[in-house]
A and B are shown apart, each in its own frame.
Chain A
Amino acid sequence: MRNFLTIDIERCTGCRLCEIACSISHFKTFNPARSRIKVLRFHAQGKDVPLVCRQCGKCAAEEACPKDAFKADPSTGAMKVNPELCVGCRLCVDRCIFGAVFVDPVDDSIAVCDLCGGKPLCVEFCATGAIAYVPSHRVGIQRSLEIAEGLVSRLKPREYILPR
């Protein structure tokens, strides 16, 4: 059983504390441009969309890499790029189906979420719970709960249940 980073777009307020947290965790600095999670704001629609590696079981970036520089960390499942093997072709950036592989603006290396080794700091900095890090059996449970609550509110009380 693994833990997954989950994103609830509806809860994201666009404060980008997760981006700062990411730069804190990886570089001990404050610089959202170096973050491996990016919140894109859609002004017209009033939506904020955090993009981050979704830990796909079948990683398109990994498959695209001509040098096999991508390798999943066995303890977390997070993708790691081996800088010794990486030639900097950025095919991974092109191929990631969620646009969640980035190029670091300071050293031009490939930047992809490594789950902070199993304790993602962005989760700690998210005030609304839009980002969570949960075991697989809890993935999506918040959404399930909200949908169930909606159903509950529509159920009419019944006096008794007939025997079958």
Chain B
Amino acid sequence: MKGYASRILYVDLSKGSIRQEAFDESLARNYVGGAGFAAYLLYRSIEPRVDAFEAGNAIVYATGPLSGTVIPGSCKFCIMAKSPLSGFLGETYASGDWAPELKYAGFDALVVSGASEKPVYLWIEDGKAEIRDASRFWGLKTYELWEPLLKDVGDPQAKVLSIGPGGERLVRYASILNFKRAAGRTGIGAVMGSKRLKAIVVRGTKDVEVADFDACVRIAKEALRRIIEEKAGLGTIQHGTTNGPIGINARGLLGTRNWQEEVFEGAELISGSEMVRRGLRIADKACFSCPLRCSKLHAVRDGPYSGYSTEGPEYESLYALGSICGNSNVESLIAADRLCDEYGIDTISTGLTIAFAMELYQRGILSSKDLDGLELSWGNHGAEIELIRRIGERKGIGDLLAEGSKRAAEKLGGEAPKYAMHVKGVEIPGHSPRGVKTCALGYSISPRGAIHTDPASAMFDYDDPYPRDQYRGKGIRVYREQPGSGKTFRNFLGLCGNCLGLVGDPGWGLKAVQRLMAVVTGLKFSEEELSAVAYRTYTLMRCFNVREGATRKNDWLPERFLKEPIPSGPNKGVIVSEEGLKMMIDEYYEAAGWDLETGIPREETLKLLGLGWVADDLKKYVSLQP
């Protein structure tokens, strides 16, 4: 079995112990890597029903079989833990250069359990690992951490994965950064903080061996040829995702002012083209092995935000910190993006939680007196920036908002929960569930809450010919197309979504996965076997939630999308109908073999997927339908 390092590193921070385990082909055949490995290892590593901040929670970091090879964009890694934001499965991804380095160091995945009493960091170098004191790094912002940490390990080429002060202070949507690339969602940075684990520093110099070396090199050369000769990926090369606000706003689907509206008058002003026009773009940066360089470096040279520079903001951050807060000051968005990264907090959840507070201010539920004197009107970027600092430091009103919109709303009580835009506590990303009905379905049923990259948020109906009010058949189609979807196996293989088009031949699908697995690992999969891997993992993730107490009632959208039609623009009047959403969920459950009433996978389903061991475990907590 090639491609893999075939080793998993286990670190118990309570005991201060480290061990390694080799794994065999059966794990690879059943779970492939990345999301599959993480789901499997997490289910078995965590103590059921502990609080996310207790030592019984575990964090899994998993690379894919492609990590460290020449395949373009093979630098994505998966992190899973119980989420402090949802109380269910937390799952997040980042690219960068950490995943390949972990493979070069001789590990496919890392499982961290327990909690340390004093701040520590992990130093992994070529097959060895040690837990080191991080007392003097505790409290440092991410950008301040890299230099002293790399000095401490004595290798400027080591790769850092770390949390910022947000994670240390248990901001429930704290992110984890591989240098400037953030694994933002579901708050696993705070789980690292609760374990007093500041960083994981990795350096590796081992070869990555593959099954068919020449074929891998050919795939990379072909991708480069297409980029250079055919201008493939040109839009990504030019702007990354930064022009998202323009295109999505033109459709009338750009979440604005906490989703009260879906047309933003300042969309052009917060776009990549505008940043270029204003001279804010200073360089294109790339993750490891990626020829597309979609990460755009921006810097502000004058005005109140002079001196701020950041890789980003990308589409989701432009949406969450921009349109959703009514903020069209793009310089302030560069500063906001930088501050979120420095503190290590998710830009999406940060923006949506601030927008939640802004709406309460608009409605007179919160006054400036409740908000440390801040006038939180829409688009007040100065106040927004100040709130990001307060959240990162859990200071004043920031302490409440650091809990996320769901918990903050519950604490405030009254009308407040109506304006918290989240699913399972995870704030809504920048694709309209009212306009795109597969997003309505995906946000509802995803095991990790409202996530636009969940395979169930399929988005094939983003545009014509699908009418905005069509529901029937979508649940079944989403289920059927899930294994071959661009959102599934990239997470297993460790591939960035932007590179799928470059390495799929001719397009992305199970055939591309088969080919990549064959040339990298030498393992041959039938399409049925790959489909089973996809469904097995997704169902296992659901079972994780079932064990934590989830039922069908957790699979639902915020009231606004079901009660308030889009008020203006090309999609004026569009809404999610309750019956429609219910129909899509029913269809999906039915197709997936999940019980319609409870949403719990049926015993037969689990057995068919080779999850009999999960069925036996779940019976300790819930009753399963046959």
Taking Cβ atoms with an 8 Å cutoff, the residues of B that contact A are 68-70, 72, 97, 100, 104, 143, 146-147, 156-157, 179-180, 204-210, 213, 216-217, 220-221, 224, 227-228, 282-293, 297, 299, 309, 311
A49 to B221, CA, bound (A): 23
Are the CB atoms of B207 and A14 closer together than 8 Å? no
Closest to B73 in A: A15
Residues of A within 8 A of B209 (CB): 29
Residues of A within 8 A of B70 (CB): 17, 20-21, 24, 30
* Other-chain contact of B207, A15, A17, A27, A47 (Cβ < 8 Å): A27
- Residue A127 at the chain B interface, CB threshold 8 Å: yes
Are the CB atoms of B208 and A31 closer together than 8 Å? yes
A55 to B408, CA, bound (A): 63
Give 30 CB contacts A-B under 8 Å: A13-B284, A14-B286, A15-B288, A15-B289, A16-B288, A17-B220, A17-B224, A21-B70, A23-B207, A28-B213, A29-B207, A29-B209, A30-B68, A31-B104, A31-B206, A33-B104, A33-B206, A34-B207, A40-B156, A43-B143, A44-B147, A46-B282, A46-B309, A47-B283, A106-B207, A124-B224, A127-B227, A127-B228, A127-B292, A127-B293
Are the CB atoms of A34 and B205 closer together than 8 Å? yes
Are the CB atoms of A13 and B286 closer together than 8 Å? yes
- 10 further A-B pairs in the complex, CB-CB below 8 A; given A15-B286, A46-B285: A17-B72, A17-B289, A17-B291, A23-B207, A43-B143, A43-B180, A44-B147, A46-B311, A124-B224, A127-B293
- Residue A105 at the chain B interface, CB threshold 8 Å: yes
Min Cβ gap A81→B in Å is: 20
Min Cβ gap A136→B in Å is: 24
Known contacts A30-B68, A30-B70, A46-B309; A13 and B285 CB within 8 A of each other: yes
Are the CB atoms of B291 and A44 closer together than 8 Å? no
* Other-chain contact of B204, A15, A33, A43 (Cβ < 8 Å): A33
A35 to B309, CA, bound (A): 31
Min Cβ gap A52→B in Å is: 15
* Other-chain contact of B205, A15, A43, A46, A106 (Cβ < 8 Å): A106
Residues of B within 8 A of A43 (CB): 143, 146, 179-180
Are the CB atoms of A46 and B69 closer together than 8 Å? no
Most buried by B among A28, A41, A47: A41
Min Cβ gap A140→B in Å is: 21
Residues of A within 8 A of B207 (CB): 23, 27, 29-31, 34, 106
Min Cβ gap A34→B in Å is: 7
Residues of A within 8 A of B69 (CB): 30
Min Cβ gap A29→B in Å is: 4
Min Cβ gap A50→B in Å is: 13
Min Cβ gap A7→B in Å is: 16
* Other-chain contact of A125, B146, B224, B292, B297 (Cβ < 8 Å): B224
Are the CB atoms of A125 and B220 closer together than 8 Å? yes
A106 to B207, CA, bound (A): 9
- Residue A82 at the chain B interface, CB threshold 8 Å: no
Closest to A33 in B: B205
Closest to B284 in A: A13
- Residue A128 at the chain B interface, CB threshold 8 Å: yes
Closest to B225 in A: A124
Residues of A within 8 A of B143 (CB): 43-44
Are the CB atoms of B224 and A30 closer together than 8 Å? no
A33 to B100, CA, bound (A): 11
Closest to B294 in A: A13
Min Cβ gap B174→A in Å is: 20
Residues of A within 8 A of B210 (CB): 30
Closest to A25 in B: B217
Residues of B within 8 A of A30 (CB): 68-70, 207-208, 210, 216
Closest to B228 in A: A127
Residues of A within 8 A of B213 (CB): 28-29
Min Cβ gap B225→A in Å is: 10
Are the CB atoms of B208 and A13 closer together than 8 Å? no
Annotate A129-142 by CB proximity to B: 1 below 8 A, 0 otherwise.
Answer: 00000000000000
Annotate A108-146 by CB proximity to B: 1 below 8 A, 0 otherwise.
Answer: 000000000000000011011000000000000000000
Residues of B within 8 A of A128 (CB): 284, 293
Min Cβ gap B289→A in Å is: 6
Are the CB atoms of B291 and A127 closer together than 8 Å? yes
Residues of B within 8 A of A40 (CB): 156-157
Residues of A within 8 A of B228 (CB): 127
A46 to B299, CA, bound (A): 10
Known contacts A28-B213, A30-B70, A46-B283; A15 and B208 CB within 8 A of each other: no
Are the CB atoms of B289 and A20 closer together than 8 Å? yes
Known contacts A17-B289, A124-B221; A105 and B283 CB within 8 A of each other: no
Residues of A within 8 A of B72 (CB): 17
Residues of A within 8 A of B291 (CB): 15, 17, 127
Residues of B within 8 A of A27 (CB): 207
A28 to B69, CA, bound (A): 12
Most buried by B among A28, A29, A30: A30
Are the CB atoms of B283 and A15 closer together than 8 Å? no
Residues of A within 8 A of B290 (CB): 15, 17
A34 to B205, CA, bound (A): 7
Residues of B within 8 A of A13 (CB): 283-286, 293
Residues of A within 8 A of B286 (CB): 13-15
Most buried by A among B147, B213, B284, B286: B286
A37 to B143, CA, bound (A): 26
Min Cβ gap B84→A in Å is: 28
A41 to B309, CA, bound (A): 16
A44 to B146, CA, bound (A): 9
A30 to B213, CA, bound (A): 9
Residues of B within 8 A of A32 (CB): 100, 104
Min Cβ gap B108→A in Å is: 15
Min Cβ gap A14→B in Å is: 6
Residues of A within 8 A of B204 (CB): 33
Residues of B within 8 A of A21 (CB): 70
Closest to B100 in A: A32
Residues of A within 8 A of B283 (CB): 13, 46-47
Are the CB atoms of B297 and A46 closer together than 8 Å? yes
Residues of A within 8 A of B100 (CB): 32
Are the CB atoms of A127 and B224 closer together than 8 Å? yes
A44 to B156, CA, bound (A): 14
A57 to B258, CA, bound (A): 64
Min Cβ gap A93→B in Å is: 15
